[in-house]
């Protein structure tokens, strides 16, 4: 693809501002290169493409969950519960490390090139996983595949690039639904494949799907980030007109070379985190909410096998109930997040603030502790299976209803720095999702499965004030950060 050429159609005349330099910007009367003004059909195609990749990476991640014990047994020659849990959760540790480079580099060089390079690394790491001959090698390749996942941090940022704030919830909902479908279909397929063809074929299938996805990314995706688009436009105009005074507002700000670029890429998300109290709260809370999925994913197969007598294939199929719940959560968010956001904005002077994304998150934060306790208590006292499945489905609903408003808030609040800000939410999520599940076997061994999840529910109940505080004081706290969207502070 020729990145110097117009992305879509004819290039509109540039708006030129008379300052000490001649600044090149998008034409406010209409500009085909402005991602916000791309045709709706193309935007929907971009969202579908992002959802495809999000589905693929989650399919790869969760596909091995029902057979984690079998993989460790085959590679290590003996059962090892800690290794089985780490095999599943180390993916999230990789996802915590990868965005430190992926997101900020996308703000230097653009989304397109970073996304494609990350996808290629992901494919190679997945193939290497399938070829692993030891549990330590398998765990390392799982970390590497997590490291190369670009969709979690760049998908919300790309949605922010191409949609106006009042139009983002639908796209945000779809890209969050896709990985949940992958998380449901992956275990269902892998359970059946593992019983017949072996677990390595699960990973070969995942690599094949990822290759198809990358071909689509390479040929169909265009740059969505306004900074490199305007930089390339200014460079093109300088060459065409021989006028070296033509610059865009971002020239010189992100064109950092060599080690300085690497240093900037690594440190920017951390700097933004320490600069924003709101981001600290949301990263911490969002990380704890998402880790509940991995706690469930690493305990659910054991509960189904040992308490309810399920086979590996039936265990994999049972993950569908979580995705059914998550799908319901997506529908709820799709119907209400933007509607609430717009309605609150109109009722408060016509300015919609990021804090108006929070009402659904608050409702979910109140309900979530009770569902967590119910999930652990049901098998502990041998209540019917249907109660357990309902609890799993409702956890799926509530995790999504927490995360869609949270991600939308971060994208709205941080604007150009949305990718770096989302990186910190991913880092917290990855670290917590890796470490907390490792403690669950010891905790359940000490107090029992039921009381273990009652304790977790109590912890989440104690954290309910966090989203309330962001709703009430978020605007004031955001105004103290130079990385938030100044128009909304």
Contact assessment for residue 253 and residue 96, using Cβ atoms and an 8 Å cutoff: no
pLDDT at site 347? 86
Burial 226-241 (b: 16+ CB within 10 A, else e): bbbbbbbbbbbbbeee
Query: How far apart are the C-alpha atoms of 199 and 205, rounded to whole Å?
Result: 10
pLDDT at site 487? 55
* Average pLDDT for 211-227: 91
3-state secondary structure of 349: coil
Query: How far apart are the C-alpha atoms of 419 and 410, rounded to whole Å?
Result: 9
Burial 428-451 (b: 16+ CB within 10 A, else e): bbbbbbbebbeebbebbeeeebbb
* Average pLDDT for 23-47: 87
pLDDT at site 103? 74
Mean pLDDT across the chain: 83
> For 42-69, what is each residue's pLDDT tens digit?
998 999 889 888 888 888 887 777 777 7
* Average pLDDT for 472-480: 91
DSSP letter for 12, please: P
**Residue from 191, 429, 172 nearest 317 by CA:** 191
What dihedral do alpha carbons 54, 228, 6, 31 form, nearest 10°?
Answer: 100
Residue 240 has pLDDT above 90, yes or no: no
Strands ordered across the beta sheet of 246-248: 15-18, 22-25, 246-248
Residue 315 parent element (H or E): helix 312-318
Residue 212 has pLDDT above 80, yes or no: yes
Query: How far apart are the C-alpha atoms of 130 and 137, rounded to whole Å?
Result: 10
Query: How far apart are the C-alpha atoms of 307 and 289, rounded to whole Å?
Result: 26
Q: Out of 259-268, 308-317, 428-437, which region has the weakest mean confidence (pLDDT)? A: 259-268
**Residue carrying the six token digits 């049901």:** 378
> For 287-334, what is each residue's pLDDT tens digit?
999 899 888 888 888 899 889 988 777 877 888 898 889 889 988 988
**Residue carrying the six token digits 């093109």:** 236
194 pLDDT band, cuts 50/70/90, is low
pLDDT at site 265? 63
Quote helix, strand, coil % in the chain, to nearest 5: 80, 0, 20
Residue 484 has pLDDT above 90, yes or no: no
User: Which residue(s) pair with 22 in the sheet?
Assistant: 18, 246
For the chain, the first-to-last Cα distance in angstroms comes to 38
pLDDT at site 361? 95
Maximal C-alpha separation, the chain: 78
Q: For strand 15-18 and strand 246-248, is the pairing parallel, antiparallel, or unpaired? A: unpaired
5 pLDDT band, cuts 50/70/90, is very low
> For 117-131, what is each residue's pLDDT tens digit?
999 999 999 999 999
Domains of the chain: 15-488 (1.20.1250.20)
* Average pLDDT for 86-99: 82
Contact assessment for residue 59 and residue 185, using Cβ atoms and an 8 Å cutoff: yes
- Which residues contact residue 93 at a Cβ distance below 8 angstroms, ignoring those fewer than 6 apart? 143, 146, 430, 431, 434
CA gyration radius, the chain: 23
pLDDT at site 202? 84
**Residue from 330, 446, 309, 450 nearest 379 by CA:** 450
> For 364-390, what is each residue's pLDDT tens digit?
999 999 999 999 999 999 999 999 999
Please give the C-alpha separations between residue 328 and each of 188, 236, 273, in angstroms, as whole numbers: 19, 47, 32
């Amino acid at each position: 693809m020729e990145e110097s050429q117009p992305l879509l159609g004819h290039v509109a005349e540039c708006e030129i501002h008379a300052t000490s330099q001649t600044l090149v910007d998008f034409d406010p009367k209409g500009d085909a290169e402005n991602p916000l003004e791309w045709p709706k059909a193309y935007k929907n195609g971009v969202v579908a493409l992002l959802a495809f990749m999000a589905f693929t990476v989650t399919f790869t991640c969760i596909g091995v969950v029902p057979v984690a014990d079998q993989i460790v047994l085959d590679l290590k020659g003996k059962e090892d519960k800690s290794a089985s849990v780490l095999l599943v959760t180390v993916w999230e540790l990789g996802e915590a490390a990868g965005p430190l480079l992926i997101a900020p580099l996308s703000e230097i060089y653009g989304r397109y090139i970073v996304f494609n390079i990350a996808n290629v690394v992901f494919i190679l790491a997945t193939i290497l996983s399938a070829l692993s001959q030891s549990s330590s090698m398998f765990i390392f390749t799982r970390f590497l595949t997590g490291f190369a996942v670009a969709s979690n941090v760049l998908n919300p940022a790309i949605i922010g690039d191409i949609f106006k704030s009042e139009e983002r919830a639908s796209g945000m909902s779809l890209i969050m639904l896709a990985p949940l479908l992958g998380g449901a279909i992956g275990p269902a397929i892998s359970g059946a494949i593992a019983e017949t063809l072996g677990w390595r074929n699960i990973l070969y299938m995942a690599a094949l799907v990822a290759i198809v996805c990358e071909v689509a990314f390479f040929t169909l995706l265009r740059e969505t980030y306004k900074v490199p688009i305007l930089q390339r436009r200014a460079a093109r105009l300088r060459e065409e007109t021989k006028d070296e005074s033509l610059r865009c507002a971002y020239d010189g700000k992100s064109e950092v070379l060599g080690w300085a670029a690497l240093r900037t890429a690594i440190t920017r998300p951390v700097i933004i985190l320490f600069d924003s109290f709101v981001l600290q709260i949301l990263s911490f809370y969002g990380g704890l909410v998402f880790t509940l999925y991995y706690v469930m994913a690493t305990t659910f197969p054991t509960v189904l096998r040992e308490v309810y007598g399920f086979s590996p294939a039936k265990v994999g199929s049972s993950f569908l109930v979580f995705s059914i719940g998550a799908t319901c959560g997506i529908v709820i968010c799709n119907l209400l997040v933007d509607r609430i956001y717009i309605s609150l904005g109109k009722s408060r002077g016509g300015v919609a603030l990021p804090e108006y994304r929070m009402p659904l998150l608050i409702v979910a934060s109140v309900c979530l502790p009770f569902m967590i306790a119910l999930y652990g208590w049901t098998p502990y006292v041998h209540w019917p299976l249907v109660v357990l499945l309902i609890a799993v489905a409702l956890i799926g609903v509530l995790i999504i209803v927490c995360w869609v408003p949270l991600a939308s808030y971060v994208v709205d609040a941080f604007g150009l720095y949305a990718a770096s800000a989302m990186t910190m939410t991913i880092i917290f999520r990855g670290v917590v999702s890796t470490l907390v599940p490792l403690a669950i076997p010891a905790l359940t061994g000490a107090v029992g499965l039921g009381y273990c999840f009652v304790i977790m529910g109590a912890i989440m109940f104690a954290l309910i004030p966090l989203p309330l505080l962001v709703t009430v004081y978020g605007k004031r706290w955001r105004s103290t950060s130079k990385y938030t969207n100044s128009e909304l502070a």
